[in-house]
């Protein structure tokens, strides 16, 4: 329907030009909001123009959904550890999760694949990786993916409360400063639940999100096909799948990803983010 607004041939050139200028302004407004999420934008919405923006400039398409930058865990999962859920009616939903980024090259390559397939996932970010790659982080958020906290240093060792607090809050602060996102989803590095991190996160009413299926993409010897097989074999309604975009060379994960997505789609799965998944039980 929106194709009718500026793309019909009946419009004369002047009308088209005015429409394009209007669109250019509205795109600028959206992009400005995207990179300055903390700024008070008042109640004025950018002028709504029904436009097939992808036909104008595919690179400047505004983010689909900028309004929800708060990823809040449902009350029943606050202070809890979750591996998977049992969705109502056994609905075939699955949540892909991507850890240890943002990372140069691999994150962007994965974002391209997610976008082509219209798949939204959940990224668990490491603070020092985020510090190195803020622009990639902004793209992740602008493209509608959910965000969780994966500590600053990705340490496995035992931590006192002060250190655990610093690992988590320093990362939360940078996530907010970089993208405007607030999250109450936490994943402890290595899935360790007893080194002080999970205890701190639970105390803050976060949910501690582990996984029920691993791609095992950190195995240095496995081929991408093995990652595909691991995920497709382990898939169940309500599953949470572990994979990585950072913390090492993840080119094999990027290679496996299209087949992981198409295989799950063939099995009838629909992709949801972790925040969405936890609302489905």
Residues known to be catalytic: 99, 244
By CB under 5 A, tell whether 189 contacts Zn ion.
yes
Tell me how many degrees the CA angle 109-111-116 measures, rounded to the nearest 5.
Answer: 100
With the CA atoms of 68, 71, 75 and 79 taken in that order, what torsion angle do they form, in degrees rounded to the nearest 10? -170
Q: Whole-angstrom Cα distance, residue 160 to residue 176? A: 24
Cβ 36 to Zn ion shortest distance, Å: 30
Nearer to Zn ion, 127 or 237 (CB): 127
Q: Are 266 and 228 contacting, i.e. CB atoms less than 8 angstroms apart?
A: no
Cβ 271 to Zn ion shortest distance, Å: 21
Q: Whole-angstrom Cα distance, residue 149 to residue 260? A: 24
Task: Name which of residues 2 to 61 contact Zn ion (CB under 5 A).
Answer: none
Nearer to Zn ion, 23 or 98 (CB): 98
Cβ 247 to Zn ion shortest distance, Å: 6
Which stretches of the chain are assigned E, i.e. beta strand? Answer: 70-71, 81-82, 93-99, 122-125, 146-149, 182-183, 185-186, 207-209, 213-214, 239-244, 270-271
Cβ 98 to Zn ion shortest distance, Å: 10
Nearer to Zn ion, 85 or 209 (CB): 209
Cβ 129 to Zn ion shortest distance, Å: 10
What residues pair up with 183 in beta bridges, in sequence order? 71
By CB under 5 A, tell whether 167 contacts Zn ion.
no
Q: Are 49 and 26 contacting, i.e. CB atoms less than 8 angstroms apart?
A: yes
3-class SS at 11?
Answer: coil
Q: Residue 174 to residues 138, 143, 170: CA-CA distances in angstroms? A: 12, 19, 6
Cβ 7 to Zn ion shortest distance, Å: 46
Task: Name which of residues 92 to 131 contact Zn ion (CB under 5 A).
Answer: 99-100
Nearer to Zn ion, 100 or 167 (CB): 100
Q: Are 40 and 152 contacting, i.e. CB atoms less than 8 angstroms apart?
A: no
Nearer to Zn ion, 26 or 106 (CB): 106
| In the complex, residue closest to Zn ion by CB | 99
Nearer to Zn ion, 190 or 268 (CB): 190
Q: Whole-angstrom Cα distance, residue 43 to residue 36? A: 15
Contact positions toward Zn ion, by CB under 5 A? 99-100, 189
């Amino acid at each position: 329907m929106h194709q009718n607004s500026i793309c019909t041939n009946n419009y004369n050139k002047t009308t088209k030009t005015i429409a394009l200028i209007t669109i250019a302004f509205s795109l600028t407004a959206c992009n400005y909001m995207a990179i300055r999420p903390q700024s008070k934008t008042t109640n004025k919405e950018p002028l709504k123009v029904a436009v097939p923006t992808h036909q104008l400039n595919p690179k400047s398409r505004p983010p689909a959904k900028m309004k929800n930058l708060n990823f809040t865990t449902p009350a029943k999962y606050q202070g809890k550890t979750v591996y998977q859920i049992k969705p109502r009616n056994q609905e075939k939903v699955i949540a892909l999760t991507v850890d240890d980024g943002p990372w140069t090259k691999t994150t962007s390559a994965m974002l391209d694949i997610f976008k082509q397939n219209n798949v939204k996932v959940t990224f668990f970010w490491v603070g020092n990786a985020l510090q190195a790659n803020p622009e990639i982080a902004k793209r992740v958020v602008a493209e509608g993916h959910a965000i969780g906290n994966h500590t600053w240093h990705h340490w496995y060792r035992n931590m006192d409360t002060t250190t655990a607090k610093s690992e988590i809050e320093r990362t939360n602060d940078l996530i907010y400063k970089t993208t405007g996102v607030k999250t109450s989803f936490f994943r402890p590095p290595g899935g360790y639940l007893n080194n002080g991190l999970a205890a701190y996160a639970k105390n803050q009413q976060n949910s501690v999100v582990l996984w029920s299926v691993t791609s095992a993409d950190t195995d240095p010897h496995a081929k991408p096909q093995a990652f595909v097989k691991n995920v497709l074999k382990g898939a169940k309604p309500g599953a949470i799948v572990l994979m990585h975009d950072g913390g090492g060379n993840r080119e094999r994960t990027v290679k496996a990803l299209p087949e992981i997505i198409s295989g799950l789609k063939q099995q009838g799965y629909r992709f949801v983010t972790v925040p969405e998944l936890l609302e489905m039980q």
